[in-house]
Amino acid sequence: MKFREFAWTGLLFEVPEEMRFSRQGGDTRMGHLMLEAENYMIEAKWEPFEPKKAKSLSEVGGSLVEQIKKQSKNQSVTVLGKEDTYVSKHKALYMIVKSRAEERVYLWYCIESQRIVILRFVFGVFDDNAKKITKRVLDTLQCHSEKTNIWSLLNLRFETPVSFLLTDTKITVGRAHFLLVDRKLSSFADQTEKILVEYFSMANLIYEQTYRDLDKWFEKNYLKDLSKKLKEGKLKFKELRSTGLRRHKMEVKQGTAKSGTTWRKTTTYTNASWYCPRTNRIYSVTLVSSIKRPAFFKREIDKEAHSKLWEDFLASFECH
């Protein structure tokens, strides 16, 4: 059995290659995900907690069992076993819950990310293969990172600083986008950075006339939609250069904007788009840096920091 890396919202672990990323919802602070294969599934849920008000793991486990009972309707639900363990160096509670099938459930508090994480394994039959999968997931699992978060799914991989939180995402058959935001507020400043990652599948069919000419594709098929997603008003880009990313020709654009009256805003945005023949996708990634302050204060974007963040982000990006 071959395994591959999967990473989403600060959670990273290895799963069998045959598993599909079938469901997700929420954001970095509170959300869920599901991976499925024939006869088994893995589900993760997370939500924030306040250390001083946190319930014991046993209480959380009891509440979870009650939820499973409600979902199971007429099916009986029984806790077959319960014990203390460790997951990713955190003290955890392990339970075996019997309903339609036997579930293996792990739950723990991650102090570093300030989230409680619940991990459920459901197998049609809990045989040696199921034990191998469960062990591999737990042995490779990381629920927090100190510097960067890895995002690894759907044949792409990239890294972002841990301060960037997932705020919006949508995954469909032909298109997906991920918006991550880092916002710092103070009495006289609102500084925001956004990273938008988007891809378009079946590019040579859907964009038959433009997928080889990314400047034309960008202006005709994407610019208006990009402005709506970023909510930064009408974007005006200037052509910077053509460069390469992992042997792909990449078109890079940059622009600046100023707006506002009482509180004025200065924004710098950089975009890169390229076609990946191996996945038959067009990728487009955008970094936005903005600062908003009262009119009598200076508003200057740290160009060096913007460039470094952009370069580090692109250096981590793998599109196939």
Rounded distance between C-alpha atoms, residue 269 and residue 266, angstroms? 10
Give the model's pLDDT for residue 74. Answer: 65
Rounded to two decimals, what is the model's pTM? 0.91
Domains of the chain by residue range = 3-144, 150-316
Q: What is the mean pLDDT of residues 219-238?
A: 87
Query: Which string of b and e fits 222-231 if b means at least 16 CB within 10 Å?
Result: bbeebeebbe
User: Residue type for 21, please?
Assistant: F
Cα separations in angstroms, 76 against 60, 69, 83, 97, 203? 20, 7, 21, 10, 49
For residue 239, the tally of other CB atoms under 10 A from its CB is: 10
CB atoms within 10 A of CB 126: 17
C-beta contacts of 221-226 below 8 A and 24+ residues apart: 222/273, 222/284, 226/196, 226/271, 226/284, 226/286
pLDDT, tens digit (0-9, with 9 covering 90-100), for 244-272: 777 889 999 999 888 877 788 889 999 99
Region 12-26: what's the mean pLDDT?
95
Question: What integer pLDDT is reported at residue 70 of this predicted model?
Answer: 82
Looking at domain 150-316, its CATH architecture is 3-Layer(aba) Sandwich (3.40)
CATH of region 3-144, choose from 3.40.50.2000, 3.30.1490.20, 3.40.1000.10, 3.40.190.10: 3.40.1000.10
Listed in sequence order, the residues at least 6 apart from 26 whose beta carbon sits closer than 8 Å to its beta carbon are: 32
| pLDDT for residue 47 is more than 80 | yes
The confidence band for 301, taking pLDDT boundaries of 50, 70 and 90, is confident
Banded pLDDT at 181 (limits 50, 70, 90): very high
Which of 44-48, 158-162, 231-235 shows the lowest mean pLDDT across its residues?
Answer: 231-235
The token pair at 125 is 């039959």
Q: Give the mean model confidence (pLDDT) for residues 123-127.
A: 92
- Give residue 279's pLDDT band: very low, low, confident or very high (50, 70, 90): very high
CA gap 178, 170 in Å, rounded: 7
Identical topology for domains 3-144 and 150-316 = yes
Nearest Cα to Cα of residue 295 among 262, 260, 265, 257: 262
CB burial of residue 142 (10 Å; 0-12, 13-18, 19+)? middle
CB 117 within 8 A of CB 61: no
